[in-house]
Amino acid sequence: MLHHATPQAAGRWCAEQRAAGRGIGFVPTMGALHAGHLSLLQRAKRENDLCCASLFVNPLQFDDAEDYANYPRDTQKDLRMFAAASCDMVFSGALGDFFPGAGGVADIPVKNAGPFGRGLEEKFRPGHLDGVRTIVEKLFAAVGPCRAYFGEKDFQQSLVVTDIAQQSDGISVVVCPTVREEDGLACSSRNVLLSPNERKKAAAIHRALLRAKTLWDENIRDAAHLRRAMGEALAAAGVAVEYADLRDPLAWSGRPPAGEMQRAQALVAARVGRVRLIDNLRLDG
C-alpha cells in the first residue's frame, strides 16, 4: 500500500491512475479506524479498480478545541489497518497542505454546508458541516474519484456530501449501512473514550431509535409522539440528549416536523459523560 504524506503527492498519483483508465473508489476518514470504516473500504475495493483513503483529523469540523485535542489518533495502527483492508493508497497531510498559505484555521475561507446543513447538527455543532463541506471539496478535487463512500451513521453529513458530489463532475456518493457493536451501539472512533459504565449507558441510543421503530411499526406516525418516546427512553438511561428528532429523509428540512409523517428518519445526538455520540434509523420501509 502506498502512503502519500501530502494531498498534492496523492493528487499526482490519482491523476496518473485516472489517465491509465483506472477508476478510484475513495473513503475519507479521520482515522481511529473501526469496523464501520472497514466496511466502507471493503465496498470501495469491491466496486472500483482502486481503493484510496484519506487520513486527516479536520480541525475545521470541530467547534470545540478540547474535542479536537482529545480525538483518538493512532496513525501507525491505522496504516496497518488500511493495508490489511487491501487499500491501494492512503494519504494524509497537514492543514497547510490542504490550504496552502493558511497559517491556521482562522485563515481558511469556510464553505457553507448548503441546504442539508440546516437544523439538528447546525444548532448543536455550529460550523461542523460547513467544515466538512470545505475539506470534502478539497479531497474530491485531489482524488477525482468515480465513487466516494460515506456512512449512514452520519446521516446529515451523507446528505451534505451527496449534494457536493451532485455539483461535481462524475462523482457518485455511496451511502453505506451503519455497522454496530453487539449491543447495537454504532461503531464510532469516539467509543474508545467511554468508560466501561458510559459504554453500557451508550447502548440506550440505539434502544431509543428501536423504540421509535417499534411505535412506527404499530402505526404511530405522529412526530411529537415519536420524538417524546425517544427522549423518554434516553432520559431513563441517564443520557444527556442534544436532539432526538425526526426528518423526512427524502425532503430534508431545518425545522422539526409536526403531525403525521409519511416517511421518517429518527436521529439522535447525545452526550454520554463528555463524549458526544450520534446515530439514526430509518423508521419506514
Question: Residues with catalytic annotation?
Answer: 37
Q: Which stretch binds ligand AMP (CB under 6 A): 12-20, 79-87, 180-188, 246-254?
A: 180-188
Q: Is 280 in the site for ligand AMP (CB under 6 A)?
A: no
Q: Which stretch binds ligand AMP (CB under 6 A): 4-12, 74-82, 176-184, 211-219?
A: 176-184
Cβ of residue 258: shortest distance to ligand AMP, in angstroms?
29
Q: Is 121 in the site for ligand AMP (CB under 6 A)?
A: no
Cβ of residue 225: shortest distance to ligand AMP, in angstroms?
28
Question: What's the per-residue H, E or C state across the chain?
Answer: CEEECCHHHHHHHHHHHHHCCCCEEEEEECCCCCHHHHHHHHHHHHHCCEEEEEECCCHHHCCCHHHHHHCCCCHHHHHHHHHHCCCCEEECCCHHHHCCCCCCHHHCCCCCCCHHHCCCHHHHCCCHHHHHHHHHHHHHHHHCCCEEEEECCCHHHHHHHHHHHHCCCCCEEEEECCCECCCCCECCHHHHHCCHHHHHHHHHHHHHHHHHHHHHHCCCCEHHHHHHHHHHHHHHCCCEEEEEEEECCCCCCCCCCCCECCCCEEEEEEEECCEEEEEEEECCC
Residue of 151, 199, 204, 264 interacting with ligand AMP (CB under 6 A): 151
The residue (of 188 and 265) whose beta carbon lies closer to ligand AMP is 188
Q: Is 132 in the site for ligand AMP (CB under 6 A)?
A: no
Cβ of residue 224: shortest distance to ligand AMP, in angstroms?
29
The residue (of 179 and 215) whose beta carbon lies closer to ligand AMP is 179
The residue (of 97 and 154) whose beta carbon lies closer to ligand AMP is 154
Q: Is 178 in the site for ligand AMP (CB under 6 A)?
A: yes
Residue of 187, 202, 208, 239 interacting with ligand AMP (CB under 6 A): 187
Q: 169: how many CB neighbours lie within 10 A of its CB?
A: 7
Q: Is 145 in the site for ligand AMP (CB under 6 A)?
A: no
Residue of 125, 147, 153, 276 interacting with ligand AMP (CB under 6 A): 153
Closest CA to 17 of 165, 171, 140, 144: 144
- Residues in the chain, how many? 285
Q: Is 176 in the site for ligand AMP (CB under 6 A)?
A: yes
Q: Is 92 in the site for ligand AMP (CB under 6 A)?
A: no
Q: Which stretch binds ligand AMP (CB under 6 A): 88-96, 103-111, 185-193, 226-234?
A: 185-193
Q: 57: how many CB neighbours lie within 10 A of its CB?
A: 17
Interface residues toward ligand AMP, by CB under 6 A: 29-30, 36-37, 39-40, 150-151, 153-154, 176, 178-179, 186-189
